[in-house]
Amino acid sequence: MSNGNRDRNEEAKLVLNWWKKSLETFIIVCTFGGSITFSLIMLNIANPSRLNSENLATRARYDVEEVREFLAVGWVLFMCNLGICCLLSGLVYFQELDILGNWPDGRLWWGITWEWLLHICSFVITGLLIAAFAVLSMAVVAYVEPVGWAGLALTMLWGSIVVGCWIYQCFNIWSG
């Protein structure tokens, strides 16, 4: 085996190992996030308008039904992400030999490579997770407005960093 092939094979092993561990983490976070969010949707949660009714200046921005809608959207995002992560996990495990043998230039459908497919999936699953946390931050706004806005700001900051890293990695893939 030539040195170049050995390097690509080692790179592929590192990438697959990273994906396996990352997908396990995403599945755990989505499972717990979805479970907690679902239980909150089903509970008789307090109406934020009643909690802050004494002072009109701090009146709640959203009512209980809007909070439930935020929670429901968060739950859907967690569940979509969970489904994608489970499918991707199966794909990575069952196609491991194909990925190792064809990394990084092996073509799949429509000429896309394994490297690009995994790169696009990383953006989608991270984006869905960030979106779920952003929507849940909006639900927190109804109860403790400064904390909800701070959570949303931090989530958007993290999302911006992820997009920047993803774009940077795109240039690395394109440049070879």
Per-residue pLDDT of the chain (176 residues; tens, 9 = 90+): 455 556 777 877 888 888 899 999 999 999 999 999 999 999 888 878 777 656 655 566 788 899 999 999 999 999 999 999 999 999 888 888 877 777 666 666 666 777 788 888 999 999 999 999 999 999 999 888 899 999 999 999 999 999 998 888 887 766 75
Q: So what's the pLDDT on residue 88?
A: 93
Nearest to 27 by CA among 35, 38, 15, 39: 35
The three-state DSSP-derived secondary structure of 28-51 is: HHHHHHHHHHHHHHHCCCCCHHHH
Q: Which two tokens mark 71?
A: 């929670």
> Rounded to an integer, what is the distance from CA 88 to the centroid of its chain?
13
Inter-helix orientation angle 3-42/64-94, to 10°: 150
**pLDDT tens across 102-145, in order?**
766 666 666 677 778 888 899 999 999 999 999 999 999 988 88
